[in-house]
Amino acid sequence: MRIRYLYPIALLTLFVAFVTCGGAIFGYNISDYHEQVAPEKQYTYVSRYAELSEHDSHFRDAAGIIGYDWTLIAAIAFTESRFDSTAVSSAGATGIMQVMPNTLRGFNIPDSMHMDARTNIFAATELLRSLDKRFRHVKDPAERINFVLASYNAGYGHILDAMRFAKREGKDRFVWENNVDTFLILKSRPEYYNDTLCRNGKFEGWRETLQFVSKVQRNWKRFKRTQQLYSDSISRLVESDSTFRLME
């Protein structure tokens, strides 16, 4: 063999020995070498909403349909049933939103689903949407909510009667407190419920209705404040710590 072939053969032999025995000779194996990759960053995901109940996602979905604040729907549910989906009132109203069975059947909801929380919430939302449309002539959105809530509790007809009396007697029929609510009270008196202007008869449940409107408004304010405080604190957390992310 010529000498000029010995060098390449020797080099090849050394390379094979390095690959196969390098771990024993040098303490590592060339096959174990790989490019170092930075570990994937771990994030902690936090909710963008303060939790009010286990039904919050239903409140948000339903509110989105009619453009209401979801905490208002939650406030109605809390006032009606304390978020109890099995609640039944003495008048027969059922579920978390205390909807009357005839109303639920009017939405083609079978009796077996009346207590289902999501179904009950969405049925109540449809009722709220219907009432909101009926009171579209109440231009102030905040005032309209009062009329919707009063009708949700007492029925649209009784509130309409009270508005007629308010108009006749020089009060603002588009303002609830100290105007229309006064005439809802008076509908419990013979001189009013026997008046030809009264088309829906006597109404004795005015105390409950006035309290309902007041309680829902109070609970709504409380829930909105809770949500705002939570939202502010979460925003500060996400801004100050890059490992936190908001859940969609």
Which residues does the annotation mark as catalytic? Answer: 80
44 three-state secondary structure: strand
Region of 9 (left: φ > 0; alpha: ψ -120 to 50; beta: rest) is alpha
Nearest-angstrom CA–CA distance, 119 and 113? 7
Nearest-angstrom CA–CA distance, 166 and 114? 37
Whether 236 and 55 have beta carbons less than 8 Å apart is answered as no
Nearest-angstrom CA–CA distance, 200 and 178? 21
User: Phi/psi of residue 54, each to 5°?
Assistant: -75, -10
160 three-state secondary structure: helix
CA dihedral angle for residue 211, residue 224, residue 75, residue 125, rounded to 10 degrees: 120
Whether 180 and 159 have beta carbons less than 8 Å apart is answered as yes
Whether 22 and 43 have beta carbons less than 8 Å apart is answered as no
Element (H, E) at 240: helix 206-240
Q: What Cα–Cα distance (Å) separates residue 18 from each residue in 5, 6, 26?
A: 20, 18, 9
